[in-house]
Amino acid sequence: MPLPSIQIETGSDPKFAVIWLHGLGADGHDFEPIVPELVDKSWPAIRFVFPNAPVRPITINGGMPMRAWYDISGMEIAQKQDEAGIRDSVRLLNELIEQEAARGIASENIFLAGFSQGGAIVLAAGVRCKHKLRGIIALSTYLPIAEKTDGEMSPANRDVPIFMAHGMLDPTVSHALGEMSREYLKQRHYKIDWHAYPMAHQVCAEEIVDLKRWLGSRLR
C-alpha cells in the first residue's frame, strides 16, 4: 500500500510526475507552496506527489516520534547511518514510482525530488532504480550509504540528470558533505548540475529560479 500523499495536478491528464519527499519532522504539505512558484504555464501538465513519511522515533531528538525517512543518531549524519531505515524508505519510494506507472505516467517521465532527508532518499533510490527516470532533484542533502553504491547502481539511470543545490551556511547538512556527495557521484560519471547559495538549511528564491530553468528544459 503506497504512502498517503498530497497530490496536485497542474492540468488535466498529466504525462509527467514529480514525487517530492519532505525533510525530517515535516510532512507532505511542506513543499506544496512551491508548485505555483516553480511551474511555468507553458509546461505540459504535471502531477506533484508529496508523500508523508512514516512516523518513527528519532534518536537525536531524544526518541521523540516524528515523520522521518530514517533515524538519525547524532550530529555527524554521515556516520552510524540507519541503513535499514534508508532501505525501507527507498522501497516505499519505489512503490510510489510503480503507482504512477500504473496510473499511466511512464517512469521515464518521473522526477524524484527531495529536501534534506527526503533528498538523501531520492539520491539513494534514484541511482538504484531499475526503471529509467527523467531526473533527480536533491536539495540541501547528501548521498547516504555511499559506500554501497558501486555494487548497487542501476544501469537504467547511469545517465540520469541530477540537480543538486546546497546552502553554503547550512548547519544541519554541511555544505562540505553535499560537495563530497557531488564529487562521489561525478567520479562515477553521473551528470550533476550543482548550485550553491549563501543560505542555511532552507530553499531560496534564486534556487527556485534555477530549478525552474532545469526542470523546464527536461519537460520537452
- Provide the number of structural domains found in the chain: 1
pLDDT at 87 over 90: yes
Residues noted as catalytic: 116, 170, 201
Q: How many helices (H) and strands (E) does the chain have?
A: 6, 9
Q: How far apart are CA 26 and CA 165, in angstroms?
A: 19
Angle, to 10 degrees, between the axis of helix 83-102 and the axis of helix 117-128? 70
For residue range 185-209, list pLDDT tens digits in order.
999 999 999 999 999 999 999 999 9
**pLDDT, average across residues 106-121:** 98
- Name the pTM for this structure: 0.97
Q: How far apart are CA 136 and CA 111, in angstroms?
A: 6
Among residues 200, 202, 162, 197, the alpha carbon closest in space to that of 183 is found at 162
Range of the domain at 170: 5-216
Q: What is the CATH number of the domain that holds 54?
A: 3.40.50.1820
For residue range 145-171, list pLDDT tens digits in order.
999 999 999 999 999 999 999 999 999
